[in-house]
Amino acid sequence: MSFLTIDTAYLRLQESERLGVMGTGRSLLGAVAAIVCCLALAWLSTSIKGSPKKYEVQPWITVPEYRTEAARAIDAYERLMDRYMDLTERNLFGVSSDIREVAKTLDSIDHRLTQLCARIARIEKTLGIEQPPDSIEGTSQSVPVDSKQGEESPAPAGTD
């Protein structure tokens, strides 16, 4: 029976070729085969890669760190203390320069007083005026300024 079936199939094939029906059947068969191959290829490519897709995203936007109110208050206090220390340093520098100027002025005054005392002593000596017993000449000229504050300078002789 199988011989008969093959023979009949062969006869039908020859007849269909003669009629031109088989050309459209082959092209239809080729199109179906191509579609099946494409579908198989698509199914295999998705099954190889895996179904869930993961994407790695690298953000370009930076978010500032979260800070508590206490941290902000501490930072503000530190900035305030830095400003206060800078202000104090500037003021102390100004006071230091003022003290230097005052010290120079006092040294200049002390030098002039020493010259005046020497001049007055020469004048008194020339005129023959005796010096009072609590004269400044007996004391040292290098006495600190603080110790001289409590003393009063003696009045010049002959001004009474």
Q: Please report, for the chain, the start and end positions of each structural domain, with discontinuous segments joined by +.
A: 2-41, 69-132
Question: Cα–Cα distance between 45 and 43 in angstroms, integer?
Answer: 6
Does pTM top 0.85 for this prediction? no
Question: Cα–Cα distance between 3 and 9 in angstroms, integer?
Answer: 10
Nearest residue to 38 via CA among 50, 28, 30: 30
pLDDT digits (tens, 9 = 90+) for 9-35: 767 767 766 665 545 667 778 888 888
Question: Cα–Cα distance between 111 and 89 in angstroms, integer?
Answer: 33
Looking at residue 78, its pLDDT comes to: 96
Q: Tell me the backbone φ, ψ of residue 129, rounded to 5 degrees.
A: -90, 130
